[in-house]
Structure 1
Amino acid sequence: MLIDDSEYVQLIGTCQIKSIQFPKILVQTENGKSLVLNTTKQQQTDSVFWDAIIDIIAADLWIPYNKDTYFLLQQDWITDTSFA
């Protein structure tokens, strides 16, 4: 199920990564607001995660984040009933 089709759509924001200030990720929302996203301990030590973040920056992709916790969504734009 896509996030847009779920009950969680109000909890999800869209952003573009602008820079990294390890361990934080600086982003800009669709509304032009600058935010700082958190990373988990696992993400902080995961070189594949950081390589993917660098690729996302280079491609100017829009990615989802949780508006309540300021973390990136692990499941990207797809969700299921265990999302929360």
Structure 2
Amino acid sequence: MATTKLTLSVDPEVIAKARRISKLRKTSVSAMFSRYIATLEESKQRETPLPPMTKRALALAAGTAPVPENWDYRDELKDILDERYGLK
């Protein structure tokens, strides 16, 4: 496979880490980069589409207000059960 030279701007610490890792793995930084990009592409292809029910639920929730930070489903469930069984 023919290769082409690529110039990247990377933090010097990252370059040092990449060189150490490549030395430990007995490979080149270029080979590691190539494998990493190939892995990203494969993982993108393996993404499975959402099931229809999940898509529908997301569509229904799209226009709703966000859940407050302090909301706890257990409090909500307790209130519902208390009301159902006349404990309120």
Asked whether the two chains share a fold, i.e. TM above 0.5, the reply is: no
**Of the two structures, which has the highest relative contact order with CA contacts closer than 8 Å and spacing of 6 or more?**
1
- The TM-score, its normalising length taken from structure 1, stands at 0.26
- Structure number having the greater helix percentage: 2
